[in-house]
Every structure is written in structure tokens, then in C-alpha cells.
Amino acid sequence: MTLLIDIGNTRLKYVRHTENGFTKSQSINNDEINVEQLALLFSNEIEVIVSSVADNKLLELIEQVAYKHQITIVRAQTQKETNGVICGYDNYQQMGVDRWLAIIGAQCLVPNKYLIVVDAGTATTIDVIDKNKKHLGGWILPGVKTIHDAIIEKTAQVSSTFKPVEAIAFGLNTADNVNQASWAASIGLIEQAIRTLGSNQSLASDKIKLSIEIIFTGGNGAELAKLYRQQSGLQVIGKYQVVDNLVFHGLNTYQKCATK
């Protein structure tokens, strides 16, 4: 049995991978984690694979507890190449490991396609992969709620409550203006990613056969997918799907490569 751990800035999320697939994802607030809790979490594990974008102190604690219990632990890191997927960054070490794991997880789930991976959390990130497993680059935008909250924090007379919207529409009051625009910005980013990929000169010979699949993940991924589907003026190219906890698919792929 393999324990897969993803440490974010505020929460540690984990699943177990068994012969029947992934167990249900669970989480613990980072500031609540202690040695006793980790010892219980690690009981009966064969190995642990962990990714982290948080403070190294928590990662070091996890490594210490794993070592004490004689459990093999693998720390996932961004690589120039994983499972045949090539990172497009000029310096691959600058890419966050969470984004890299989402990329390799998406490519493993949907091989031989042009992929747009939309990870909608605190930031909304876009990453594009071609059908030959090459990462073509991406974008980082403040997340939907981050955009909304920034307007409220930086203006004295504007108030709004962040919430999902049924469809992208023009707001008829200030609160709706702010909320709608926050969602529309990320939908616009996806539209632009489709246009940019479709107009890439290096893909000209593939234009007729160009097949794009969009994979949504992250806390607001499902809501963005719904809005993408509902946009009457937006040409829906190829297929799209929502994959909860895409990073765990990436961790599982990474673990298989690490143990070869």
C-alpha cells in the first residue's frame, strides 16, 4: 500500500493507493499536525510519496517520522522529464512541484492529446501539453476568489460576497460586477489558451487533426468547467473533464517511475 501526500500552504491532503485504486481524499490542517498523528497515519504503510509547496519544516518532520518507522519515503520534485513528459520551462527547477504533478497526471490519464490543464485554486494556472508529451508552457493568474478579494481589499467603497455564478453575465450592481468579473477572467484565460494553442505556427501541419482536451482540477475547477460548458458564445473544442485531486494521479505516476 502506498500513502500519497500533498502538502499545500494550509492543508495536508492524502490518499492511499491500493490494488483497487485511490481511497477517498482526506485532509489535515498544517498547524494541527504532530508526531503522534503522523505515526498513526503511517501505520501499516509500505511506502510514502510526498509533494510539498509548504514550509520545509513540515516536510522534514514527515521524513523523520517515516524514517523512525522504517518506511520508505520518496519526495517528489519537478524534473526535466518524468514518464516521457518533458518540462517546457527554461529552468525546470523553477516550476512548482504541484503544477508538474498535475501535468504528468493529466498526460497519464489522457495520452496522445493536446491538453490544457486548468488548476483553479488560490491561483488559476494553465499548462499546455502537446500530443508528444512536451509541455509547451503556461500561465499563472490569481485564482477566482483571489481576484475577487483583491478588489474588496484595495477599494474603500466596494463590497461583494464571493460566490459561484450560474452563468457568465453582466452585473447590474457593483457586487455582481466584481463577482462576475472574477469568474469571467478565468474563463477568458481558457479561451485565450485555446486560441493561442490553435494558432501556434509549429502545429500548423496538425491543425486539421488538432484535438484539444481540457482537464479542470482544483477547488474551483468544477465551477469553471460548468461555466465553460454553458458559454453559448464559446466554441467547445474537443472534450473536457473535471479530475478531483489530479496531483495524486501525478504522484502515483511519479512513484512508479521512481521505483523502476
- Angstrom distance (rounded) from CA 48 to CA 5: 7
Q: Is the dihedral of CA 164, 165, 171, 172 positive or negative?
A: negative
Question: Is 8 marked as binding a ligand?
Answer: yes
Q: Is 13 annotated as a binding residue?
A: yes
Grid-cell match 520508505, residue found: 72
Residue 119 in marked binding region: yes
In the set 31, 55, 98, 244, the catalytic residue is 98
Does residue 6 have a known ligand-binding role?
yes
Active site residue 90: no
- State yes or no: 14 annotated in a binding site: no
Is 89 known as a binding-site position?
Answer: yes
Using only C-alpha atoms, what is the Rg of the chain? Answer: 20
First to last CA, the chain: 17
- 98 annotated as ligand-binding: yes
Q: How far is CA 182 from the centre of its chain?
A: 19
Q: What does the DSSP assignment read for 194-224?
A: HHHHHT-GGGGGGTTT--EEEEEESTTHHHH
Q: Is 229 annotated as a binding residue?
A: no
97 has binding-site annotation: yes
Cα gap 78→179, rounded to integer Å? 34
- Strands 21-22, 26-29: pairing kind: unpaired
Q: Is 125 assigned to a binding site?
A: no
- On whether 221 is known to bind a ligand per the annotation, the reply is no
Burial (0-12, 13-18, 19+ Cβ within 10 Å), 43: exposed
Q: Is 9 known as a binding-site position?
A: yes
**97 CB-near residues (< 8 Å, 6+ apart):** 51, 52, 53, 76, 77, 78
C-alpha cell, 67: 524514517
Annotated binding residues for K(+): 119
Annotated binding residues for substrate: 89, 96-99, 174
Catalytic residues: 98
Annotated binding residues for ATP: 6-13, 122
Annotated binding residues: 6-13, 89, 96-99, 119, 122, 174
